[in-house]
Amino acid sequence: MFHTDAAQAVGKIDLRGLADPNIGDDMITLVGHKFGCPKGVAALYVRPTCFNEYEHTGSILLMGGGQEKGRRGGTENVPYIVGMGRAAEILLEKRGNSETTNLESNIVHMSKMRERLLSNLVNGIGNDGIVRVNGPSNPEQRLPNTLSVGLKGVQSGKLLAKIGDIVACSAGSACHSSNQTSYSSVLKALEVPSGYAIGTLRLSVGPDTVEEEIDFAANAIIEEAVSMINR
Protein backbone atom coordinates (compact mmCIF):
# COMPACT_ATOMS: atom_id res chain seq x y z
CA MET A 1 0.00 0.00 0.00
CA PHE A 2 1.43 3.37 -1.04
CA HIS A 3 0.65 6.70 0.63
CA THR A 4 1.73 10.16 -0.54
CA ASP A 5 1.86 13.10 1.87
CA ALA A 6 0.92 15.85 -0.58
CA ALA A 7 0.39 18.55 2.04
CA GLN A 8 3.04 20.85 0.57
CA ALA A 9 2.21 20.06 -3.06
CA VAL A 10 -1.54 20.66 -3.17
CA GLY A 11 -2.31 23.97 -4.84
CA LYS A 12 1.25 24.19 -6.14
CA ILE A 13 1.32 21.42 -8.75
CA ASP A 14 -1.37 19.39 -10.52
CA LEU A 15 -1.98 16.27 -8.43
CA ARG A 16 -4.88 14.77 -10.34
CA GLY A 17 -2.70 12.09 -11.92
CA LEU A 18 -1.93 10.70 -8.45
CA ALA A 19 -5.61 9.91 -7.96
CA ASP A 20 -6.00 7.84 -11.12
CA PRO A 21 -7.98 4.78 -9.92
CA ASN A 22 -5.95 2.47 -12.18
CA ILE A 23 -2.36 3.67 -11.72
CA GLY A 24 -2.56 6.24 -8.92
CA ASP A 25 -1.57 6.12 -5.27
CA ASP A 26 -3.56 4.19 -2.69
CA MET A 27 -3.85 7.16 -0.34
CA ILE A 28 -3.09 10.88 -0.60
CA THR A 29 -3.12 13.40 2.24
CA LEU A 30 -4.22 16.94 1.39
CA VAL A 31 -4.14 19.95 3.74
CA GLY A 32 -6.59 22.80 3.26
CA HIS A 33 -4.64 25.83 4.44
CA LYS A 34 -1.98 25.11 1.82
CA PHE A 35 -4.35 26.16 -0.97
CA GLY A 36 -6.65 28.80 0.41
CA CYS A 37 -8.69 27.35 3.29
CA PRO A 38 -8.59 28.28 6.97
CA LYS A 39 -6.27 26.17 9.11
CA GLY A 40 -7.86 23.09 10.58
CA VAL A 41 -9.17 21.02 7.68
CA ALA A 42 -7.58 18.24 5.65
CA ALA A 43 -8.59 15.30 3.51
CA LEU A 44 -7.43 11.74 2.99
CA TYR A 45 -8.02 10.39 -0.50
CA VAL A 46 -8.47 6.62 -0.48
CA ARG A 47 -8.33 4.86 -3.83
CA PRO A 48 -11.50 2.81 -4.39
CA THR A 49 -11.09 -0.90 -3.56
CA CYS A 50 -7.50 -0.47 -2.33
CA PHE A 51 -8.38 -2.01 1.05
CA ASN A 52 -9.60 -5.12 -0.75
CA GLU A 53 -6.29 -5.53 -2.61
CA TYR A 54 -3.92 -5.76 0.36
CA GLU A 55 -3.68 -8.17 3.23
CA HIS A 56 -3.92 -6.61 6.67
CA THR A 57 -4.15 -7.83 10.24
CA GLY A 58 -7.21 -5.82 11.11
CA SER A 59 -5.37 -3.87 13.82
CA ILE A 60 -5.92 -0.12 13.85
CA LEU A 61 -4.31 2.85 15.54
CA LEU A 62 -7.45 4.96 15.89
CA MET A 63 -11.04 3.97 16.58
CA GLY A 64 -13.53 6.45 15.18
CA GLY A 65 -17.26 6.88 15.08
CA GLY A 66 -19.57 5.73 12.32
CA GLN A 67 -19.88 9.26 10.98
CA GLU A 68 -16.15 9.15 10.22
CA LYS A 69 -16.31 5.62 8.77
CA GLY A 70 -14.43 4.37 11.79
CA ARG A 71 -11.21 6.04 10.76
CA ARG A 72 -11.05 8.84 13.33
CA GLY A 73 -12.88 10.35 16.25
CA GLY A 74 -14.73 13.64 16.36
CA THR A 75 -17.44 15.32 14.37
CA GLU A 76 -17.04 16.69 10.87
CA ASN A 77 -16.32 20.41 10.53
CA VAL A 78 -18.87 20.94 7.74
CA PRO A 79 -18.16 24.64 7.00
CA TYR A 80 -14.43 23.98 6.60
CA ILE A 81 -15.06 20.88 4.48
CA VAL A 82 -17.27 22.93 2.17
CA GLY A 83 -14.62 25.65 2.11
CA MET A 84 -11.94 23.14 1.14
CA GLY A 85 -14.09 21.88 -1.69
CA ARG A 86 -14.72 25.41 -2.93
CA ALA A 87 -11.01 26.25 -2.77
CA ALA A 88 -10.30 23.21 -4.96
CA GLU A 89 -12.95 24.33 -7.44
CA ILE A 90 -11.44 27.82 -7.62
CA LEU A 91 -8.01 26.37 -8.45
CA LEU A 92 -9.43 24.60 -11.49
CA GLU A 93 -11.58 27.48 -12.74
CA LYS A 94 -10.48 29.36 -15.85
CA ARG A 95 -8.67 32.66 -15.33
CA GLY A 96 -10.79 35.36 -16.95
CA ASN A 97 -11.46 34.68 -20.62
CA SER A 98 -8.38 32.52 -21.08
CA GLU A 99 -8.05 28.75 -21.15
CA THR A 100 -5.56 28.92 -18.30
CA THR A 101 -6.76 27.72 -14.92
CA ASN A 102 -6.07 29.60 -11.70
CA LEU A 103 -3.74 26.77 -10.68
CA GLU A 104 -1.70 27.06 -13.88
CA SER A 105 -1.53 30.84 -13.57
CA ASN A 106 -0.52 30.58 -9.91
CA ILE A 107 2.28 28.15 -10.77
CA VAL A 108 3.75 30.55 -13.34
CA HIS A 109 3.52 33.54 -10.98
CA MET A 110 4.97 31.76 -7.95
CA SER A 111 7.85 30.38 -10.02
CA LYS A 112 8.63 33.88 -11.23
CA MET A 113 8.59 35.27 -7.67
CA ARG A 114 10.75 32.44 -6.35
CA GLU A 115 13.35 32.94 -9.07
CA ARG A 116 13.37 36.70 -8.44
CA LEU A 117 14.02 36.03 -4.76
CA LEU A 118 16.88 33.66 -5.55
CA SER A 119 18.38 36.05 -8.09
CA ASN A 120 18.25 38.91 -5.58
CA LEU A 121 20.00 36.83 -2.92
CA VAL A 122 22.73 35.63 -5.29
CA ASN A 123 23.39 39.11 -6.67
CA GLY A 124 23.18 40.81 -3.29
CA ILE A 125 25.31 38.41 -1.25
CA GLY A 126 27.74 37.51 -4.00
CA ASN A 127 27.95 34.77 -6.59
CA ASP A 128 31.13 33.16 -5.24
CA GLY A 129 29.68 30.01 -3.74
CA ILE A 130 28.00 31.58 -0.73
CA VAL A 131 24.42 30.92 -1.89
CA ARG A 132 23.40 27.34 -2.65
CA VAL A 133 19.95 26.05 -3.61
CA ASN A 134 18.94 22.85 -1.81
CA GLY A 135 17.20 20.27 -3.97
CA PRO A 136 17.16 19.53 -7.71
CA SER A 137 19.22 21.87 -9.89
CA ASN A 138 16.33 22.01 -12.37
CA PRO A 139 13.85 24.59 -10.99
CA GLU A 140 10.96 22.77 -12.64
CA GLN A 141 11.61 19.79 -10.37
CA ARG A 142 11.08 21.89 -7.25
CA LEU A 143 7.83 23.22 -5.86
CA PRO A 144 7.17 26.59 -7.54
CA ASN A 145 6.43 28.41 -4.29
CA THR A 146 9.28 27.29 -2.05
CA LEU A 147 12.94 28.26 -1.94
CA SER A 148 15.28 26.32 0.33
CA VAL A 149 18.63 28.05 0.16
CA GLY A 150 21.83 27.59 2.14
CA LEU A 151 24.03 30.57 3.02
CA LYS A 152 27.65 29.61 3.72
CA GLY A 153 29.11 31.41 6.70
CA VAL A 154 25.69 32.11 8.23
CA GLN A 155 23.85 30.47 11.11
CA SER A 156 20.22 30.66 10.10
CA GLY A 157 18.97 30.67 13.69
CA LYS A 158 20.98 33.78 14.51
CA LEU A 159 19.91 35.42 11.26
CA LEU A 160 16.24 34.79 12.04
CA ALA A 161 16.70 36.31 15.48
CA LYS A 162 17.68 39.54 13.71
CA ILE A 163 15.10 39.66 10.92
CA GLY A 164 12.27 37.47 12.23
CA ASP A 165 10.08 40.46 13.01
CA ILE A 166 10.09 41.72 9.43
CA VAL A 167 10.56 38.63 7.24
CA ALA A 168 8.47 35.47 7.65
CA CYS A 169 10.85 32.57 7.02
CA SER A 170 12.22 29.58 8.87
CA ALA A 171 15.55 27.89 9.42
CA GLY A 172 15.57 24.83 7.17
CA SER A 173 12.05 23.61 7.84
CA ALA A 174 9.25 24.55 10.18
CA CYS A 175 9.98 21.44 12.25
CA HIS A 176 13.68 22.17 12.73
CA SER A 177 13.92 25.92 13.27
CA SER A 178 15.04 26.22 16.90
CA ASN A 179 18.41 24.47 16.92
CA GLN A 180 21.23 26.58 15.50
CA THR A 181 23.87 23.84 15.39
CA SER A 182 21.99 20.88 13.91
CA TYR A 183 19.83 20.52 10.85
CA SER A 184 17.05 18.34 9.57
CA SER A 185 17.30 14.74 8.42
CA VAL A 186 15.92 15.88 5.06
CA LEU A 187 18.94 18.13 4.43
CA LYS A 188 21.20 15.28 5.48
CA ALA A 189 19.44 12.91 3.07
CA LEU A 190 19.94 15.48 0.30
CA GLU A 191 23.65 15.47 1.21
CA VAL A 192 23.69 19.21 1.72
CA PRO A 193 27.17 20.19 3.02
CA SER A 194 27.03 21.11 6.70
CA GLY A 195 28.22 24.67 6.08
CA TYR A 196 25.20 25.32 3.91
CA ALA A 197 22.75 23.20 5.93
CA ILE A 198 23.40 25.19 9.11
CA GLY A 199 22.74 28.36 7.11
CA THR A 200 19.62 27.11 5.35
CA LEU A 201 16.58 29.34 5.06
CA ARG A 202 13.19 28.14 3.88
CA LEU A 203 11.21 30.88 2.16
CA SER A 204 7.78 30.66 0.55
CA VAL A 205 5.84 32.81 -1.89
CA GLY A 206 2.17 32.70 -2.79
CA PRO A 207 -0.27 33.59 -5.58
CA ASP A 208 -0.64 37.10 -4.14
CA THR A 209 3.07 37.80 -3.56
CA VAL A 210 4.28 40.91 -5.42
CA GLU A 211 7.74 41.99 -6.54
CA GLU A 212 7.97 44.74 -3.91
CA GLU A 213 7.57 42.15 -1.14
CA ILE A 214 10.22 39.93 -2.71
CA ASP A 215 12.69 42.81 -2.94
CA PHE A 216 11.99 43.94 0.62
CA ALA A 217 12.54 40.45 2.06
CA ALA A 218 15.66 39.86 -0.02
CA ASN A 219 17.21 43.16 1.05
CA ALA A 220 16.60 42.39 4.73
CA ILE A 221 18.19 38.95 4.39
CA ILE A 222 21.12 40.26 2.37
CA GLU A 223 21.96 43.05 4.81
CA GLU A 224 22.10 40.79 7.83
CA ALA A 225 23.76 37.86 6.01
CA VAL A 226 26.56 40.03 4.62
CA SER A 227 27.10 41.48 8.08
CA MET A 228 27.42 37.98 9.58
CA ILE A 229 29.75 36.76 6.81
CA ASN A 230 32.07 39.75 7.19
CA ARG A 231 32.40 39.52 10.96
Phi and psi torsions of 156, nearest 5°: -60, -35
Give Cβ neighbours of residue 30 (< 8 Å, ≥ 6 apart).
6, 7, 10, 15, 42, 43, 44, 45
Q: Which residues pair with 5 in a beta bridge?
A: 29
Exposed (0-12), middle (13-18) or buried (19+): which is 45, by Cβ within 10 Å? middle
Q: Residue ranges of the alpha helices (H) in 18-155?
A: 50-53, 78-92, 102-125
* Residue 13 DSSP class: B
State the pairing for strand pair 170-171/200-204: antiparallel
Distance CA 181, CA 164 (A): 18
Catalytic sites, residue numbers: 175
Distance CA 72, CA 50 (A): 19
Phi and psi torsions of 27, nearest 5°: -140, 145
* Type and span of the H or E element at 206: none
